[in-house]
Amino acid sequence: MTDQYVNLGEAIKKGDVETGVSESLLLVERGVKPIEIFSECIEPTLAVIGDQFSRLEIFLPEMINSAEVVKAIQNEFKPLMEADQETISKGKIVIATVSGDLHDIGKNIVKAMLEVNGFEVNDLGVDVETKTILKSARDADADIIALSALMIPSLPFVKDVIDFIEANEEARSRFKVMVGGGPVNREWADEAGADGYGDDAIEAVDVAYRLIDAPA
């Protein structure tokens, strides 16, 4: 992580919302793109926090405080990213964090990047059941269902959506499924039968273009 991100990283670790927001806005003023701030500072900082949590060096309240800083930054960045948005729809995407999983920081970045790149995104939120995801995809006439999972126990719920689509001819012919999030990797996605996997929000956009066969 470069020096320009030290203060922001510290603010996230300390759970200091005010400094976190002001530091990230300062970076934007200096010309750093919100997506770069996420990939170069916020994501690696959260990875360190997650590791500290799993080693019992910090506990849930600290992890919650750090997440609060990041959520506040996401709120500040929302209008900035919306201003960049393309107006012609490249395709419709329904996105959700699967059942039992409340993590949405990564999903929200993926959503914002897809929107900036011209996709219409219907965000179903977190802890969304398979049947709700399928119903919403049908109602929205979606091209792609995008699933996020951050915990190992969430993986069967991702697989559940894929299996349902596999078993249902009408759904199979209508929807492509792309997956991502911490415990998901390319190998797991292939084995589970997903149509696409993205390691980060930038790759999510490439995968979405590929799945709907749209020119980038």
Q: Which residues are catalytic?
A: 101, 103, 154
Interaction mask 28-67, ligand B12, x per CB under 6 A = ---------------x--xx-xxx-xx-----x--xx--x
- Distances, alpha carbon 58 to alpha carbons 20, 36, 151, 167, in Å: 19, 27, 18, 43
When asked if residue 164 is in the footprint of ligand B12 (CB under 6 A), the reply is no
- Distances, alpha carbon 163 to alpha carbons 40, 51, 171, 177, in Å: 35, 32, 11, 11
- Distances, alpha carbon 142 to alpha carbons 93, 146, 163, 193, in Å: 5, 10, 18, 19
Under 8 Å between Cβ of 137 and 96: no
One of 15, 91, 118, 181 touching ligand B12 (CB under 6 A): 181
CB of 86 to ligand B12, least distance (A): 19
- The nearer residue to ligand B12, 87 or 206, going by C-beta atoms, is 206
What is the SS3 assignment for 99? coil
- The nearer residue to ligand B12, 87 or 153, going by C-beta atoms, is 153
| Residue ranges in contact with ligand B12 by CB under 6 A | 43, 46-47, 49-51, 53-54, 60, 63-64, 67, 71, 100-107, 109-110, 146-148, 150-152, 178-183, 198, 200-201, 204, 207
